[in-house]
Amino acid sequence: MTAEDLLKITFVGDPQISPDGSRVLFTKKTINEKNKYITNLFSVDLEGRLTQWTQGDSGNQAARWSPDGGTIAFVSKRTNSPQIHLISTHGGEARKLTSLPEGFLTNLQWSPDGKWIAFLFREQMPQNTEAAKQSRAEKGLSDPPIEIDDIWYRLDGDGYFAGQRFKIYAVEVATGRYASADSDGEFSALYAASPNGDYSFDWSPNSLELAVIHTACKRPSVEPPNAQIYRVALNGQAWKLEGLPKGEKSNVKWSPDGKWLAYAGDVDEADPWGTRNTKLYVVSANGGDAKDLTGHEDYDLSAATLSDTKEAGFGTTLEWKPDNSGLIIQIGWQGETQLAFVSLDGRFELLTEGKHSISMGNVSNDGSRIAATFGHATMLPEIAMVEPELGTGHMVSKLLTHFNEEFHSEIELSEPEEFWLDSTEGSKLHGWVMKPIGYLAPKRYPALLQIHGGPHAQYGWAFFHEFQLLAAQGYVVVYTNPRGSKGYGEAHCAAIRGNWGTHDWEDIQVATRWMQHQSFIHPGQMGVMGGSYGGYMTNWVIGHCNDFKAAISDRCVSNMVSMAGNSDFPFNKNGYFKGVAWGDLNDIKELWRQSPIAYFQNVSTPTLVIHSEGDLRCNIEQGEQVFTALQQQGVESRFVRYPSFTSHGMSRMGPPDLRLHRLGEIVKWMDKFLK
């Protein structure tokens, strides 16, 4: 594996099964010779025959079948702004359905009768439209300031949007007119903006209304979470379901018979970062007490398995069985991603098994087939159909595409080996080790400890290009799921809630001791690295030990006091963390105690700092503080800053040439000190 092999990979996603279960619609993304991601729409039938629906480089995505399977709706940016297009499955050219102003369009949903398409749209800030930019250029004017009146004005990967908010629209497929109570069919929102623009919605089976989740808080970024469900008619009238608890809610789904509403969430009002398990609830479509269907299990509906060849996927996935008997959900467990069935009486049944990563799309009309992507640690994700295996009681994934088959035939890969270690207080640490390509016993090799971000996510059986690259460069690669990770039960995840650098650090020390005692690892040639929270923990490690000869702190957190106010998700007083940055010394001391920079007088490890200037999650000043402290103390260090158009997720979604540059910097730095 080389860094440049990234350019050969085909990325697939967003699988959607046709109503009759005969085909799966999906996105296929490649990288062209001009350093650009090219995304187009394809479908594949049960025999593996492909049909290409779109061409070009206009970013076609979010495709959805019409209820009768005769039309595909999708989003394409063939003009200055994304628009909904329709294409017949019987052939012909796509036609543009909407003529929206410049902005951001997402979450297409057909009404069950096929007459309407609901979607989310947020208009561009007026000063950022192409017309406004051109006018300023012609007049020689400067870019204007962004005027902000609310704390929810930016989001990493989304940028700055100030007071603009997503709204729900419903457009009639036959005419292009919009559903609204007070307009003549012109562009008009069906449902007005939520304070933080965060929506989940789903059509009623009779196509007359939507179930909508949004916050009931006046200040949602400050107050404890209180998402509620509203029913919104096509004339814009809305009413709130009564009887639901406060707390987080997402991914509302109306049952096929119209009697129930399902959603993912939790009732805890003081868990803004999701250390508790996300559970499955159902409530009568008319309101009342919500029933927790999965609380008796220790599974989490939002346990994301991390990779650099797919999206992180921190959301939840759930789909009703067509017979109304229950829901199919996706869970992360001990590094695996599996599908499960949950009945309305709370019976829980795992549908799949194995060391793999499955990302579910939707379910066929008869409930027998599920569209998904399927991959594992040595296989890039491909489109798959998940079907019952006769006589086993489980479902199996049948691969429908083989885009990366030739790539795999040319590349030698390292097969991860899993291990379990005893840690403090009776806890267990789950991890994996990848030996170098061409490994020969009894030789000892340099080794790298990778620490994942989140922290409430998991490493697991997913393909990691970066890990394979490092194994090909002659490194042993070790990665673990210390306490704070999801996928091992609620107690394991909540062990570091508001208390970083404690049980997680104990587990990292256990992994470090294990590495030092392996016959194939040279204990004097070990490096440590990680991104986001992994960057935090890398900073913590080098401030608390000298076991590693080199470190890489990527898009890190270093100072919890400044982080509290400059992240796109600022800390609330005594929320996830105790105290607050703008309080007195007693308020600040807990944040400072958990700040790696507070211990940097102890650092002697040569460290590479990687950060994006456009990172709104972990502001670049977090990396700047690390580099400044290292330089002022004479510790060998290097700072690589990526441009402002890159974001926190650059290693997964950034421009291909910059992703390659980052990988090159990683290899050069570790080679310098470990070889």
> Looking at the annotation, which residues are catalytic?
532, 648
21, two tokens: 């279960």
Cα distance between residue 346 and residue 280, in whole Å:
10
List all residues 6 or more positions away from 549 whose beta carbon is below 8 Å from its beta carbon.
Answer: 524, 525, 526, 527, 605, 606, 673, 674
559 to each of 136, 454, 580, how far by Cα in Å? 39, 16, 13
Cβ contact 460:357 at 8 Å? yes
Residue 473 identity: Q
E strand or H helix at 63, and its extent?
strand 61-65
Cβ contact 421:510 at 8 Å? yes
Nearest to 307 by CA among 414, 486, 462: 462
The beta strand positions in 445-588, using DSSP E, are 445-451, 476-481, 521-531, 550-554
Render 272-285 in DSSP notation, one character per residue: TT--SPPEEEEEET
Cα distance between residue 454 and residue 460, in whole Å:
14
Render 575-597 in DSSP notation, one character per residue: SSSSS-TTS-HHHHHHHHHT-GG
Q: How many CA atoms lie within 13 A of 81 on its CB side?
A: 19
Residue 674 neighbours by CB distance under 10 Å: 20
Cα distance between residue 592 and residue 334, in whole Å:
32
Cβ contact 217:285 at 8 Å? no
Burial class of residue 296 in the structure, from the number of CB atoms within 10 Å of its CB (0-12 exposed, 13-18 middle, 19+ buried): exposed
Alpha helices in 545-655, H assignment, sequence order: 560-566, 585-593, 620-632, 650-653
Peptide bond between residue 455 and the one before it cis (omega within 30 degrees of 0)? yes
Cα distance between residue 308 and residue 43, in whole Å:
24
Render 186-238 in DSSP notation, one character per residue: SS--SBPPPTT---EEEE-TTSSEEEEEEE--SSTTTSPPBEEEEEEETTS-E
Burial class of residue 551 in the structure, from the number of CB atoms within 10 Å of its CB (0-12 exposed, 13-18 middle, 19+ buried): buried
240 to each of 213, 215, 237, 243, 286, how far by Cα in Å? 10, 11, 11, 9, 10
Backbone angles phi, psi at 517, to 5 degrees: -110, 10
Residue 32 neighbours by CB distance under 10 Å: 11
Nearest to 419 by CA among 333, 480, 470: 480
The beta-carbon contacts of 22-26 under 8 Å, at least 24 apart in sequence, are: 22/46, 23/51, 24/361, 24/371, 24/383, 24/385, 24/400, 25/53, 25/63, 25/64, 25/65, 25/72, 26/63, 26/361, 26/371, 26/373, 26/383, 26/401
